[in-house]
């Protein structure tokens, strides 16, 4: 491993940044699209069934096949990888947002309306905070998936740590395989840990009043 760092240390930093950029941008797009859409779908349950079915169908497409489908549309490189990974990130976030919002105690929603809150105020200040643990669970799951799947982006010229892994497989070089696999694993663990901290920060806490 020391020899690997001596030979590929600077390249490792670049590839790690490429991995973070591809995965991070894909997840960010997934959150920006899926969370508002999931909230909106709770207002239209019949439409939600069709949207969820379409999302589930997209999720069944093999990752390599989806990356290949992006090439005729977006060419090769970072853009098609981000689009493909964005599509993969949607379902867990969308599903968890929809389920979380649907399970919010309706008495709390009615109380918010009784206090004079508008629908948007109720969503922002009551429903989303109460659904946050389930929403964040979907985001954490998608993040781990996308970080892992983004290694395949090297197949279409997007770079990332997958370059080490696949070069190692082609050259029968275990140090390259390990040098790519360990950072990907550490990135997934670190991302899950940080998102767990964010979940605790965003989730409202209740305190019992002392008698």
Q: Domain containing 55 — which CATH number? A: 1.10.3720.10
Q: What angle do CA 137, 144, 178 make, to 5 degrees?
A: 155
pLDDT in tens, 142-187: 999 999 888 888 888 888 888 888 888 888 888 888 888 999 999 9
Q: What is the predicted pLDDT for the residue at 211?
A: 36
Residue 63 belongs to some domain of the structure: yes
pTM of the model: 0.87
Residue 118 covered by a domain: yes
Q: Is residue 211 a part of any domain in this protein?
A: no
Neighbours of 162 (CB within 10 A): 24
Structure tokens at 40: 């909106």
Position 138 in a domain? yes
Residue in 101, 104, 100, 126 with CA at minimum distance from that of residue 115: 126
Count of domains forming the chain: 1
Q: In this structure, is residue 94 part of a structural domain? A: yes
Which residues in the chain come in under a pLDDT of 70? 1, 3-4, 206-211
Range of the domain at 40: 2-202
Residue 135 lies in a domain: yes
Residue 9 forms part of a structural domain: yes
Residue 188 lies in a domain: yes
């Amino acid at each position: 491993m020391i020899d690997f760092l001596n030979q590929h240390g600077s390249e490792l930093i670049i590839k790690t940044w490429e991995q973070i950029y591809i995965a991070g941008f894909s997840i960010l797009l997934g959150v920006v699209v899926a969370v508002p859409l999931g909230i909106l779908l709770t207002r239209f349950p019949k439409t939600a069934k069709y949207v969820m079915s379409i999302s589930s169908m997209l999720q069944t497409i093999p990752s390599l096949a989806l990356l290949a489908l992006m090439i005729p549309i977006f060419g090769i490189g970072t853009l098609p990888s981000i689009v493909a990974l964005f599509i993969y990130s949607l379902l867990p976030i969308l599903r968890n947002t929809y389920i979380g919002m649907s399970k919010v105690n309706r008495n709390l929603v009615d109380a918010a309306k009784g206090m004079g809150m508008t629908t948007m105020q109720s969503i922002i200040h009551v429903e989303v905070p109460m659904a946050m643990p389930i929403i964040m669970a979907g985001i954490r799951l998608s993040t781990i998936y996308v970080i892992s799947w983004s290694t395949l982006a090297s197949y279409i010229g997007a770079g990332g740590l997958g370059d080490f892994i696949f070069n190692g497989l082609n050259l029968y070089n275990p140090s390259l395989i390990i040098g790519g696999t360990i950072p990907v694993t550490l990135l997934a663990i670190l991302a899950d840990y940080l998102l767990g901290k964010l979940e605790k920060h965003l989730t409202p806490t209740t305190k019992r009043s002392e008698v």
